[in-house]
Amino acid sequence: MKTIDELLAEGVAGKRVFVRADLNVPLDGTTITDDGRIRAVLPTVAELAAAGARVVVASHLGRPKGVPDPAFSLAPAAARLGELLGAEVAFATDTVGESARATVAALADGQVAVIENLRFNAGETSKDDAERGAFADRLAELADVYVGDGFGAVHRKHASVFDLPARLPHAAGGLIATEVGVLKKLTEDVARPYAVVLGGAKVSDKLGVIDHLLEKADRILIGGGMAYTFLKAKGHEVGTSLLQEDQVPAVQGYLKRAEELGVEFVLPVDVLVAREFPDLKTKAPADPTTVAADAIPADQEGLDIGPGTRKLYAAKLADAATVFWNGPMGVFEHPDYAEGTKAVAQALVDSQAFSVVGGGDSAAAVRILGFDENAFGHISTGGGASLEYLEGKTLPGLAALED
């Protein structure tokens, strides 16, 4: 695929360059609580603007279901992008309508605009090729060149990700080039020992990557809500903990296969439990109890890995040469259940491994818990995209950028 460096060498001055970014940032009302994804695309936008391009930035935010919804407006993201650029960023209040056309037409060389949430138009996510293509046609009218740099969306067959590049000269932005380069280090000629840490809520979200990584990893550490399906598969009581009962047979199959392949599966040896889920708004003290992983009371819920597991996981990561981590170890948003996630992050900081934090909640946790992002090998902007790449799937947004 053509790189942004090649595009810049050809010259972009005076051209309208459509940058498909990932500005899908978490919001508390209109306040951005984590601007990591905006900062990730900043170098591409800044380079294009400095080269005299008229930059049109587009993204999705949330799931507004094909109609305008003020709760999912990109206006806060546009304002933050302007702050980071140190320059005014124009904002169009629609995607391909009068405001978008006028805003783009008013751009001078080196200026930047953001158009409204792409998912305010049903054509963006439509499964109908004609409807999606019609929206891509209208987006193409806004630009002369396409730059794909929204790695968090490349696993989606959406109009702005898959169909639009076919309608314009296109190149991969710096962020996508970096992300793909990092993921190749996790799949091709991997430095060993190779440890994978998987957490988060649903085991069903991770079965594909487990299946693929069983052929590549040396050890797999499990935490978060998904751990309780694994503990159930081992025959343990899990109380009222998050459980996907229908996935127990699949998990048992993976545990058996791992044993046959010589891959070490590491499960929690103790957990923090409570009778009630914590209040994440008030952060009121939760008063958890530590119990052995095979002794969870029937009326209690596991909410974080325990101190013994934290030490075990740190030891299992200490000698790793490569680590991929996706998913928190517990309800890290509450201080009483953040220690497990914090311990994994600290273990990666302390190790000499090439460490990749796989986007989503893990990336947010690293920042929320106060870690220096530069202490990790790479913090991905796309959790789902990273996982699907590691599963060996073809990602539509990457395929569309191939020449």
Task: Provide the annotated active-site residues.
Answer: 37, 202, 360, 384
Between CA 93 and CA 108 the distance in angstroms is 19
Question: Is 42 annotated among the ligand-binding residues?
Answer: no
Residue with tokens 């296969």: 257
Question: Is 367 annotated among the ligand-binding residues?
Answer: no
Question: Is 60 annotated among the ligand-binding residues?
Answer: yes
End-to-end CA distance of the chain: 5
Query: Residues with Cβ < 8 Å from 232, sequence gap 6 or more?
Result: 238, 243, 245, 248, 251
Question: Is 359 annotated among the ligand-binding residues?
Answer: yes
Question: Is 39 annotated among the ligand-binding residues?
Answer: no
Question: Is 395 annotated among the ligand-binding residues?
Answer: no
Question: Is 156 annotated among the ligand-binding residues?
Answer: yes
Query: Residues with Cβ < 8 Å from 69, sequence gap 6 or more?
Result: 120
Question: Is 270 annotated among the ligand-binding residues?
Answer: no
Between CA 46 and CA 85 the distance in angstroms is 7
Question: Is 206 annotated among the ligand-binding residues?
Answer: yes
Between CA 199 and CA 134 the distance in angstroms is 39
Q: Are 292 and 309 in contact (CB under 8 A)?
A: no
Question: Is 121 annotated among the ligand-binding residues?
Answer: no
Nearest in space to 198 (alpha carbons), one of 390, 26, 28: 390
Nearest-5° Cα angle at 89, 5 to 91:
115
Question: Is 360 annotated among the ligand-binding residues?
Answer: yes
Question: Is 52 annotated among the ligand-binding residues?
Answer: no
Question: Is 160 annotated among the ligand-binding residues?
Answer: no
Question: Is 22 annotated among the ligand-binding residues?
Answer: yes
Question: Is 175 annotated among the ligand-binding residues?
Answer: no
Question: Is 212 annotated among the ligand-binding residues?
Answer: no
Between CA 264 and CA 17 the distance in angstroms is 48
Question: Is 192 annotated among the ligand-binding residues?
Answer: no
Residues at the binding site are 22-24, 37, 60-63, 119, 156, 206, 302, 333, 359-362
Residues at the binding site for ATP are 206, 302, 333, 359-362
Residues at the binding site for substrate are 22-24, 37, 60-63, 119, 156
